[in-house]
Structures are given as C-alpha cells and as structure tokens.
Amino acid sequence: MTIPTRQLGKTDLELPVLSFGASSLGAEFRSFQLDECFASVRAALELGMNLIDTSPYYGRGMSEVLLGIALKDVPREDYILCTKLGRYDCNHFDFSAKRVEESVDVSLHRLRTDHLDIILCHDIEFVPLDQVIEETIPTLRKIQQSGKVRYIGVSGYPMKIFQRIANESDVDCILSYNQYTLQNTRLVDDVVPVAKAKGIGLMNAGPFAARLLTNAPLPEWHKDSAEVQQAARNAAKYCQKHGVDIAQLALQFSCDHPDLATTVAGSANPDNVRKWADWLSQPIDKSLLGDVLEILKPVHNISHTEGLPENN
C-alpha cells in the first residue's frame, strides 16, 4: 500500500498522513534489541512513513544517535527529518540563542546529516513564552538562512501556547500531541482556524493518547482522570465486542482529518509499524466510529494541564 500525503502548510514538504515517531528509540517506554529498532525504521520507510520525528530529549540523545546509525545507508532524499531543541531532560529546558545554535549542530552530528527538514522548539509550555518568541524563533530563522534547517516550529500540549505563537511569532509549523484523538479534538477545534489563516502547517502526534485508546494497560505516568480512563475502557470493550481493536479506530480517525498534514506514532517493534499501515489501508467503520464517539462524549475534550499555569 502507499500511504497518502498532505502538504505541510505553506512549505514544500509533502508529509505522509502517518509518520514514524522515534521516541521509542530512546527507550522511553521499554527496553529493546538494537536490531528490532533498526527494523522498525526500515519498515516505516518501506511503507512510506518517511517523516521521522525525534528529539535530543528522547533517551537523552540516544534516539538521535540510533537514528543516525539506522539511516546511514539511506539516501538523504528518501526521508524527511524532524528533530527538536530546548528540552534536554525532564526538568532541563534551555531556549537561549547560544544553546539553540549548539543544539542544531549536535543533532546534525548525531543524525549524520547536513540539514534538518524541520526543527521544533520542544514542549514550550514549560517556559515563559516571551523568550521563545523574542529569542529562540529569531535565532532559528538565522540558522535557516545557513541551510542547516529548512523549516521551524514549536511543539507542546496546551492549545493556548499555539494560539499565542501563531499570533505573535513567525513559524512554519506546529506539532501537538494527544490533542486530536477519538477523545480529544481540541487541536482541530481550537487551533486549525488560526493556523490555517496564517498558513501554518499542523502535525498531530499520539493518536493512541499514551495508550488510553488501546487495549494495553496504562503506564504509571498517565495523566488523564479516572473518568476519562473509564470512558476509554468502555469504548475499548465496545470495539472488542464488534471484533475491532480500538487502536485501529483511533489511528484511522486521527489520520483522516484533511487539515492535519500528518499524525506521528512510534514503536520500536516493526510488527506494530506494519500493522498500523495495514489498518490505514482499510476503510474506517463509520457506524462503529459514531458509537464510540457517543460513548466518549461525556469526556470529550477533557485534558490535563502541562507546564506553567499561565500557558494553560
């Protein structure tokens, strides 16, 4: 199958509607064998998931290093590379101009490439946005002129940060996670109108909402309320009764929206990557989708806070 593509805002990038997220290559969620992780990257590229999204935060550099190895024999024009800067550990953030310049060079070195297609300021809700707007983004625009970076943007969780960035700064794209799913559509509800008006491309990540919309047990760090978790479990059981994995419906739903250039999902297991591509090749069950959205309606758009209070 060929994964369809969509243009990212006003850029010349055509992104696959499903992209490969490499956070799992930083052993963020479990340990893995190296050959397994390399096979995942290969499977993603073979299936047309040629946007690869990473960050120096994932595995504190390990994801970028392993990607550099996995991609070393792949022609550079065969993949689109997105990495991030500004977040380096759970509580270590640095969006200063000096660190921005260093971070770009370190990522290029780890990823064994001479340019990044997209670079994002990572999880900006954890810092005062004034610095990102006045210092970080202008520094990235300067770096862009050198050819090291093609397009720049921001990533994070609360919708408020994207509205401010769109209105007060100059970015090419935005990446949001867990905010366009079966349970939460705030990325489209709150950000699409302002982003489209400015020609800012939108990328979505986390179609499974940190396993909420799967049959897997939730990780200890999961932040959604007990009410949201229970509704998701009810929806998963309903899908199971109809012979469908809720994760399939979740993936199809997130990848379907025409205003979102791509949805990023990650796994260090190549079988998962192949399964996702297979799910995307199948038509979405509209009747089941309607029923599931009805089950989730009482918790629709309920999310949690991330970062500084003023950014939520």
Give the residue numbers annotated as catalytic, written as ranges.
58
Structure tokens at 11: 């850029």
> 297: exposed, middle or buried (C-beta count within 10 Å: 0-12, 13-18, 19+)?
exposed
Report CA Rg, the chain. 18
DSSP 19: E
β pairing state of 5-7 and 14-16: antiparallel
Nearest to 111, CA basis, from 56, 67, 55, 52: 67
* Strand extents, DSSP E, the chain: 5-7, 14-16, 18-21, 51-53, 80-85, 87-89, 92-93, 116-121, 149-156, 173-177, 201-205, 262-265
DSSP 28: S
Cβ proximity of 105 and 139 under 8 Å: no
CA angle, corner 50, sides to 31 and 11, nearest 5? 125
Does residue 85 sit in helix, strand or coil?
strand
What DSSP line would sit under 128-184, residue for residue? -HHHIIIIIHHHHHHHHHTTSEEEEEEEES-HHHHHHHHHHS--SEEEEESSSSSS-
